[in-house]
């Protein structure tokens, strides 16, 4: 008899785990990049795909993957993210049934887990939309600005102070590139490991303005090799933010728990899910957890 499935392919958790595993194994293989990992730039792709959400109009967010198209792909904030989109193309070719918007967010969740970060429960259901759904420029944060700007941008998405601080803790990962944002350098010495180092350094280091021709950024007094953005420094200038910075600097478990909750929320903004259940993916054996 004919045992081939009838009707459209309906992927299960096991199918999404296969996608997760393929991303994780590509991350483990492709080490000839930055500090040895595409993980940080995958996290940034998931964040910039999601962080365009506007709760008033319900526009933007990860549903749609409109960063595939100009003008959104050309927005200044998205400079360098083609690297992340291209990294995921072979995965899309291997699993053509997954939407780009599910793939990009799953890529971010995978990259955090594979960097020894917290578990990021994830659910499918995003649909790709066309160029008409591109968001206007200016919805993502500008690193040259202050706490008022951070609150403007993130309250538009529906986040409170605590959630804003937790989210920006993702700056444990990766680095700035002069040919992308104009800023330069990593936030800590292990930019491929997800930790609370960003908060510890913010509290414990002395930060001075970097002397260079580039945009205003800050340098640690001890080594002169690490960096903070003006918006990062705003997290210790502002009392409402600082109490969470100090808490996360002392308590990595609290940071992991609260980051996971708020990153899940970020990746789901504006998505009309049909299911309540989230998948918890098994991390690869090569992670340091
Ligand atoms: Fe960020 N980020 N980010 N960021 N971000 C940059 C890099 C990375 C801001 C500015 C910059 C979040 C919030 C903010 C990551 C994750 C997250 C760079 C450097 C700038 C500039 C880009 C480059 O030159 O390549 C600002 C401003 C904010 C803010 O909120 C005020 C959040 C919420 C996240 C998140 O993931 C939840 C990651 C990861 C990187 C490293 C990328 C890389 O290529 O490495």
Identify the pLDDT of residue 8. 84
Given the DSSP bridges, would you call strands 227-228 and 207-209 parallel, antiparallel or unpaired? unpaired
Pairing outcome for strands 218-220 and 227-228: antiparallel
Q: What is the pLDDT of residue 289?
A: 44
Q: Which residue is closest in CA terms to ligand 1's atom 44?
A: 41
Among candidates 175, 146, 101, which has minimal Cα distance to 240? 146
Q: List residues with catalytic annotation.
A: 48, 187
**Ligand 1 atom with least separation from CA of 232:** 31
Q: What is the pLDDT of residue 285?
A: 82
The per-residue pLDDT for 2 is 59
Q: What is the pLDDT of residue 55?
A: 98
Q: Dihedral angle at the C-alpha atoms of 255, 260, 261, 262, nearest 10 degrees?
A: 80
The closest-lying atom of ligand 1 relative to the alpha carbon of residue 180 is: 24
Complex prediction ipTM: 0.99
Of 33, 155, 176, 217, best ligand 1 pocket probe by most atoms within 8 Å of the beta carbon: 176
Return the pLDDT at 6.
74
Q: Nearest residue CA, atom 13 of ligand 1?
A: 168
Which residue, by CA, sits nearest to atom 41 of ligand 1? 174
Low-confidence stretches of the chain (pLDDT beneath 50): 288-289
Q: Vertex 109, ends 104 and 113: CA angle to 5°?
A: 145
Atom of ligand 1 nearest to the CA of 179: 24
pTM (2 d.p.): 0.97
Q: Which atom of ligand 1 is nearest to the CA of 266?
A: 37
Residue 277's φ and ψ, nearest 5 degrees, are -75, 135
d(CA 249, ligand 1 centre) in Å = 19
Q: Indicate the average pLDDT of the chain.
A: 96
Kindly report the protein residue whose alpha carbon is nearest to atom 28 of ligand 1.
141
Retrieve residue 172's tokens: 């444990």
> Of 33, 170, 215, which is best to mutate to test ligand 1, by the most ligand atoms within 8 angstroms of its C-beta?
170
Sign of the four-CA dihedral 62, 104, 199, 228:
negative
Peptide linkage before 71 cis (omega within 30 of 0) = yes
């Amino acid at each position: 008899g004919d045992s081939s499935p009838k009707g459209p392919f309906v992927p299960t958790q096991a199918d999404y785990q296969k996608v997760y595993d393929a991303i994780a194994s590509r991350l483990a293989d492709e080490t000839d990049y930055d500090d040895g990992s595409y993980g940080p730039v995958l996290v940034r792709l998931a964040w910039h795909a999601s962080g365009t959400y506007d709760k008033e109009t319900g526009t933007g967010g990860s549903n749609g993957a409109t960063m595939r198209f100009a003008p959104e792909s050309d927005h200044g904030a998205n400079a360098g993210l083609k690297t992340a989109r291209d990294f995921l193309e072979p995965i899309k070719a291997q699993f053509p049934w997954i939407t780009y918007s599910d793939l990009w967010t799953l890529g971010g969740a995978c990259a955090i887990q594979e960097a020894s970060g917290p578990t990021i429960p994830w659910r499918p259901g995003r649909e790709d939309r066309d160029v008409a759904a591109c968001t206007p420029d200016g919805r993502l944060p500008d690193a040259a600005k202050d706490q008022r700007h951070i609150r403007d941008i993130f309250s538009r998405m529906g986040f409170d102070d605590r959630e804003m601080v937790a989210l920006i803790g993702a700056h444990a990962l990766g680095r700035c590139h002069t040919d992308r944002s104009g800023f330069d350098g990593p936030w800590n010495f292990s930019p491929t490991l997800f930790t609370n180092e960003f908060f510890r350094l913010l509290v414990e280091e002395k930060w001075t303005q970097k002397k260079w021709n580039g945009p205003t950024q800050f340098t640690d007094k001890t080594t002169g090799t690490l960096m903070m953005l003006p918006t990062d420094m705003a997290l210790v200038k502002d009392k409402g933010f600082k109490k969470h910075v100090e808490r996360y600097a002392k308590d990595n478990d609290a940071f992991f728990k609260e980051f996971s909750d708020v990153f899940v929320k970020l990746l789901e903004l504006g998505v009309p899910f049909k299911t309540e259940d989230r998948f918890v993916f098994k991390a690869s054996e090569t992670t340091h957890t």
